[in-house]
Amino acid sequence: MMFRGLLHSLKEAFIQIFRNRVMSFVSILSISAMLIILGVFFFITVNVNSLTEAIKSEFENIEIYLEDYTTEKDAEAIAISLSSLEEVSQIQYISKETAMEEFKERWGENAYLLDTLSENPLPNSLRVTLSDISGGSLVAEVAGTMIGVEDVRYFQSEVNKVLRISEGVQKLTLIMIIFLIVVSVVVVSSTVKLTVMSREAEISIMKYVGATNWFVRGPMLVEGVLMGAISAAIALGASTYAYLKLTELFGADIQMLFSNGLVEPGFMIVNLAYIFVALGVSIGAVGSIISMRRFLKV
């Protein structure tokens, strides 16, 4: 029973999409376009987020660069006296060798460039992890006055700025996504409405001979869902291609520039696939339900 109903719906939906092929085509194109735009926003948000995270994790600690003459023992003394501050949760000694390794790791494929350096220009340092970020400036100030300290790197206000930008991007994305979804629902609903209107006589006769609402609704729901699914497939194909191209062309540059690469294509595409299919299908379903609600009252 269930299966036969689904089969009937599928058959009718295909016939209907073919009959309204111009409108169906336009709808599919516009949903694809909107999904692709959405994909672009997703791409931007995810990358901005990952960049923000990277920046945060890199700069949320206070780096205390030590003078060359500061021995490891002196460093330990500095660390102990800083530990008495309650804002400090942990202090880690980073030798210049360790620093270089971290640096190379960050440069990835381009790390060989660093091999040309004759001597390690990086200083020994102390990395201070804060228990309370708001007290960061105080710790940085205290550390700056200590003997044996060359420089203190702490960029709280800069990190905050980046965080704010990232939040802004997220909000903008959310607004755009909602707007695009609304537009797409309207597009689908007007296409399915064409179907409903072209079949008004048929629907009223169906109702007279005792068709259930679902018997009438099924094919149109499937029609909407099918259009959504096709759009999702198109959008996914286009986005995958574009993203692969993009990482291929600019991935390395971005890695160099921000010391953090683009989000991995595999992750991106799998997530886009979920989003596109879920959105496409629900847009199709909601669009058709909206358009046929008032026609079922016979």
Partner 1 sequence: MIKFEHVTKKYDEVGGIEDVSIDIADGDFVFLVGPSGAGKSTFIKLISKELEPDSGHIYVNGQDITHLSNRRIPVLRRQIGMVFQDFRLLPNKTVYENVAFAMEVVRCTSRTIRRTVPQVLQVMGIADKADQLPDTLSQGEQQRVAIARAIVNNPKLLIADEPTGNLDPDTAWEIMKLLAQINRRGTTIVMVTHAKEIVDRMGRRVVAIDSGHIVRDNKEGEYGYDV
In the complex, which residues of this chain contact partner 1 (CB under 8 A)? 1, 4-5, 8, 201-202, 204-213, 215, 298
3-state secondary structure of 224: helix
Tokens of 211: 């068709």
Cβ proximity to partner 1: between 172 and 205 the closer is 205
Q: Which residue has the tokens 């109903």?
A: 5
| Shortest distance, position 28 Cβ to partner 1, whole Å | 25
| Shortest distance, position 295 Cβ to partner 1, whole Å | 14
Kindly state the helix (H) or strand (E) to which residue 93 belongs, with its residue range. Answer: strand 88-94
Cβ proximity to partner 1: between 78 and 216 the closer is 216
Cα angle value 39/44/46 (rounded, 5°): 90
| Shortest distance, position 18 Cβ to partner 1, whole Å | 14
**Pick from 26, 130, 148: nearest CA to 75:** 148
Cβ proximity to partner 1: between 7 and 163 the closer is 7
In whole angstroms, give the CA distance from residue 32 to residue 282: 14
| Shortest distance, position 205 Cβ to partner 1, whole Å | 6
Classify the phi-psi angles of 63: left when phi > 0, otherwise alpha if psi is within -120 to 50, otherwise beta: beta
Which amino acid is located at 286 in the chain?
Answer: V
Cβ proximity to partner 1: between 36 and 216 the closer is 216
Which amino acid is located at 192 in the chain?
Answer: V
In whole angstroms, give the CA distance from residue 37 to residue 247: 18
Cβ proximity to partner 1: between 77 and 211 the closer is 211
| Shortest distance, position 4 Cβ to partner 1, whole Å | 7
| Shortest distance, position 193 Cβ to partner 1, whole Å | 19
Instruction: Report the Cα–Cα distance between both ends of the chain, in Å, rounded.
Output: 25
Cβ proximity to partner 1: between 104 and 207 the closer is 207
